[in-house]
Amino acid sequence: MLTEQDVIDIIIDLNICANKDSISSDISLKSLGVDSLDVFNILVELEIKTGQKIPDSDVDKLTTIQEMVEYFS
């Protein structure tokens, strides 16, 4: 099962958010300064961690950490 902390760890490990204190589960990743290529990176790591493929059609649904956790729950 994927937790909020798992996603936060991925974001921190990828070093893609300048202000780590601003990360919270319900804020849109875009507002944290996460760009389209950062999202690709996060999704790759989520797929590796969960062993599940994320179809392209679902990508637009994953805009916050919370949505990512719920997607894999």
Partner 1 sequence: MIGIKSIASYIPDDFVDNYTQAKLFDETDDFIKNKIGAERLPRKKPEQETSDLVEMAVLNLLKKCPELDKSKIDALIVVTQNPDEEGLPHTAAIAQRKLNLPTSVAAFDVSLGCSGYVYGLSIIKGFLETSGLKNGILVTCDPYSKIINMDDRITSMLFGDAATATWMGDNPYWRLDSISYGTDGSGSEYLKLVNQKLLMNGRQIFNFAATQVEPNITEILKRAGLQPEDVDLYCLHQGSAAIIDAISRRFPSVSERFVKKMTNTGNTVSSSIPILLEEELFNKNINRILICGFGVGLSIATAIITEVGKE
Confirm or reject binding of residue 47 to partner 1 (CB under 8 A): yes
Instruction: Please identify which residue in 24, 48, 52, 61 interacts with partner 1, judged by CB under 8 A.
Output: 48
Question: C-alpha distances in angstroms, 73 versus 30, 37, 62, 67, 69?
Answer: 23, 25, 13, 10, 6
Nearer to partner 1, 26 or 63 (CB): 63
Confirm or reject binding of residue 36 to partner 1 (CB under 8 A): yes
Nearer to partner 1, 22 or 26 (CB): 22
